[in-house]
Amino acid sequence: MRRFWLLFSQTVTVLLAAYFVVATLKPEWVSRRPVLRSDTGVALVEAPATANGPAPPGSFRNAAMKASAAVVSVSTTKAPEQHPYANDPWFRFFFGDQGAGQPQQGLGSGVIISPEGFILTNNHVVEGADEIEVQLNDSRKARAKVIGTDPETDVAVLRISLDRLPVIVLGNSDALQVGDQVLAIGNPFAVGQTVTSGIVSALGRNQLGINTFENFIQTDAAINPGNSGGALVDVEGRLIGINTAIYSRTGGNMGIGFAIPVNTARQVLEGIVKEGVVTRGWIGVEPAELTPELMETFGVKAREGVLITGVLQNGPAARAGIRPGDVITDVGGKRIANVSELLTNVAGLKPGAPAQFHIQRRDERLDVTVTPGKRPKPRQLQEQQQQR
């Protein structure tokens, strides 16, 4: 029996020694993982492929894959400006041939939102462009046509004619909360499609002087030049905003970016596609922020809302009984804190559809029903205010 255990122990010792030698000199013989050998002969162990497997915890892979295919690069070309007398023989005799110069190139991003080829982007990306080319993530290219623009929200609608277009899923920007995780997708600095991540830093940003109607989503996801018009998506890959602007002292990302909520962009899209223009509500008032001086002048008791300093004669507000000195605190169930919020909420009302307004007139709180009209073009609005 003793001889048997001695033989067994010696056999195990020899096998372990052999395994150690093989594992050291030929690890690929005993490892299930593939081993690469470089030109120097160093054995490198390769990790198993997981590209098609489940995403690791905390990864945004699925959201990026869902949304990226529908985000496009938008290239614009604008013909060079020519001197108005460039073709005049006498001008050319004295000043020579001025030449046409080089065409101006622009770059931005866009998002395909329907199989019919409609694309959302920023107005400032395509404004003044003579030619617009769109490149998909699968490298296909197509000339784009401008269906309509809305400079007051900085939204533009393009259209391309291609088959089998990837389409992004629209989310609900009204459901966003500060702290929600988001991804920004676009083509910054023309390096190619790029995905960055961050959170929703703030909601309802306005009074930035960027657009007439401002209700921006603020995010710290990196947004850089070339990202304009690209997608801001949630962790499910749903579109929640159109990247528009950044706050920067250097021209690059500083962690403060702004996106137009998708609900706003959707309203613009529907107005442009259905009617060719964006129709907004208008009540004919001259609003002002509540300041101690104005509150004393008008005898205002309210502590929040927007002061009405003037009312257009025979306008929607005047017909509803709103007077100078009234303070609007609520429009259609939404509280109003400043002029930008009043302007945005009134513009969102449907012309001809009555809406409930809460106002404070000195110590009295009133509910009035206002039937908004159609918002005039800015020049028409200015002329009407001058006639008041």
What tens digit of pLDDT does each residue of 54-113 get? Answer: 777 878 999 999 999 999 999 999 877 665 655 666 555 455 555 555 677 889 999 999
CA distance 111 to 259: 13
- Of these ranges, 24-28, 115-119, 269-273, 279-283, the one predicted with the greatest mean pLDDT is 115-119
Whether the predicted pLDDT of 242 surpasses 90? yes
Active site residues: 124, 154, 228
Exposure class string for 64-90: b at 16+ Cβ within 10 A, else e: bebbbbbbbbbbbeeeeeeeeeeeeee
pLDDT in the model for residue 382: 47
Whether the predicted pLDDT of 48 surpasses 70? no
CA distance 20 to 334: 74
CB-CB contact of 148 with 119 (8 Å): no
Strand, coil or helix: what is 51?
A: coil
Q: Which CATH class is domain 281-387?
A: mainly beta
Q: What is the pLDDT of residues 302-357, one digit of tens each?
A: 888 999 999 999 999 999 999 999 999 999 888 998 888 898 889 889 899 999 99
Locate the domains of the chain by residue range: 62-81+101-159, 173-275, 281-387
Ranges 40-49, 171-180, 237-246, 379-388: which has the least confidence: 379-388
Q: Would you say the C-alpha torsion 341, 339, 332, 313 has a positive or negative sign?
A: negative
CB-CB contact of 284 with 311 (8 Å): yes
Q: Would you say the C-alpha torsion 333, 335, 339, 345 has a positive or negative sign?
A: negative
| CATH superfamily of the 62-81+101-159 domain | Trypsin-like serine proteases (2.40.10.10)
CA distance 254 to 148: 32
**Which of the two residues, 350 and 37, has the higher pLDDT score?**
350
- Strand pairing class (257-261; 306-311): unpaired
Topology match between the domains 173-275 and 281-387: no
Whether the predicted pLDDT of 247 surpasses 90? no
Model pTM?
0.73
| CATH superfamily of the 173-275 domain | Trypsin-like serine proteases (2.40.10.10)
Half-sphere exposure of 260 (CA within 13 A, CB side): 33
